[in-house]
Amino acid sequence: VSGRIKSSGSEMITLYQILFLFILTYCYKVNVYPFLYKNKFYRHEEMEELAAKFLGVESAMAFGMGFATNSMNIPALTGKGCLILSDELNHASLVLGARLSGSTIRVFKHNNMQSLEKMLRDAIVHGQPRTHRPWKKILILVEGIYSMEGSIVRLPEVIALKKRYRAYLYLDEAHSIGALGPGGRGVVDYFGLDPRDVDVMMGTFTKSFGAAGGYIGGRRELTEYLRSHSHSAVYAASMSPPVVEQIIASMKCIMGEDGTTLGRDRVQQLAENTLYFRRRLTEMGFIIYGNNDSPVVPMMLYMPAKIGAFGREMLKRNIGVVVVGFPATPIIESRARFCISAAHTKDMLDTVTVPPCLAQNGYLFHTKDIKSAHSWSCVIPFFHSFFHSIASSS
């Protein structure tokens, strides 16, 4: 080769051209255009194609952080002159995204279809304030499973409403993807609906997939638009390769593409564990919130003073449990949140409920006695207005 380079100038140009073409082809193959794709490799593409297949949508794209998937993509989809209808219990990332978008935000009562329909009807009838021009876009924001309530979104009704009023639907499946439905494909799978009826399918890889990051799935126009307009796509680095590998491996496992039934068995096991644990707690007299099929099981403690003490007492008995209070919940609705896993065995679940764990703590903290809890609910409105007045005066 060196001989040819020396021999004539025109041959040298040809060699440089070949070299240039070779580098271009290599870059194209592994997608190494840092200024365009931010270190995106072909495994990222494979993961996105797999996610689209898993969700049953045309196309999907992944982001390095679940929180940013919401907070940075909602502003790319809506803006001034658009209306966002948001469930009152939506996650902070959805709330932030809605606020950053500059759209008008109206909040409907949690999972309440009458409240949602009234807002949709008003929006169509009155249009934008003052000008009464039609809204440029109406976007409904909901979650699959609400992480503090354990409630499952009433998706068939939401879809019917969005179709009737020609709105768009954004569904956050952070807690339902990989956990709900016969194939673990989330709330759409659970209700046996068509994924194409949800305009923006969002979810995270942080929970069921044991990884990190988030995704948006939907029509190809949607993902292509977001690739060039979303701040989290243009200005953020893509996922690190080990995270991508983890997502591919766990997704293939859930889909059965690893050649085993491990994933399907786990989804089934999770559903069984959920039903069993919820039934046990109800039988024992605890007050639990949410849908029977939801693996997020909030157990009410009510009083803020019980939060820390309950968590510590459980830990003393070797049970780690998440306890939640204000501002994640209303101030007098403190709770313990059990997140059931497919890896929990019946023995483990029984260990939590039998003495000296919940059975004893239930008496210790008076959370088990329904009558005392109900008597609490009589004073709840008093405390609510008391704390509310303190909050609003400060």
207 an active-site residue? yes
**186 with 178: CB under 8 angstroms?**
yes
Q: Interface with ligand PLP by CB under 6 A: which residues?
A: 65-67, 70, 91, 93, 143, 147, 172, 174-175, 204, 206, 214
Contact between 186 and 333 (Cβ < 8 Å): no
Taking the C-alpha atoms of residue 278 and residue 284, their distance in angstroms, rounded to an integer, is 10
Between 44 and 175, name the residue whose CB sits nearer to ligand PLP.
175
Least distance to ligand PLP from the beta carbon of 202, Å?
Answer: 8
Among 44, 207, 306, 368, the active-site one is: 207
Nearer to ligand PLP, 87 or 313 (CB): 87
Of 179, 126, 187, 125, give the one whose Cα is nearest residue 158: 187
Nearer to ligand PLP, 74 or 120 (CB): 74
Strand spans (E) along 340-390: none
Closest CA to 310 of 338, 289, 290, 340: 338
Q: Which two tokens stand for residue 21?
A: 């073409």
Q: How far is the CB of 337 from ligand PLP (least distance, A)?
A: 12
Whichever of 174 and 271 has its CB closer to ligand PLP, that residue is 174
DSSP letter, residue 292: T
CB 211 within 8 A of CB 250: yes
Are the beta carbons of 84 and 105 closer than 8 angstroms? yes
CB of 89 to ligand PLP, least distance (A): 10
Please count the other Cβ atoms lying within 10 Å of the Cβ belonging to residue 250: 18
Give me the residue whose beta carbon is nearest to ligand PLP.
Answer: 66
Q: Classify burial at 213, counting beta carbons within 10 Å of its beta carbon; exposed 0-12, middle 13-18, buried 19 or more.
A: buried
| CB 263, CB 184: distance < 8 Å | yes
The smaller minimum CB distance to ligand PLP, of residues 144 and 362, is found at 144
Cβ proximity of 291 and 151 under 8 Å: yes
CA–CA distance, 295 with 144 (Å, rounded to integer): 12
Name the residue nearer to ligand PLP (CB basis): 90 or 223.
90
Does the active-site annotation cover 147?
yes
> Catalytic pick from 147, 230, 232, 238?
147
Indicate the residue among 66 and 311 with the shorter CB distance to ligand PLP.
Answer: 66
218 has which bridge partners? 59
Q: Note if 374 is an active site residue.
A: no
**DSSP conformation letters of 304-344:** TTHHHHHHHHHHHTT---EEE-TTTS-TT-EEEEEE--TT-
Min CB(217)–ligand PLP separation in Å = 15
- In angstroms, give the least distance from the CB of 168 to ligand PLP: 18
Determine the length of the chain.
394
With CA atoms as reference, report the closest residue to 17 among 6, 5, 29: 5
Residue of 44, 162, 175, 306 marked catalytic: 175
Q: In the bound complex, what is the minimum distance in angstroms from residue 56's beta carbon to ligand PLP?
A: 20
> CB of 184: closest distance to ligand PLP in angstroms?
17
Active site residues: 147, 175, 207
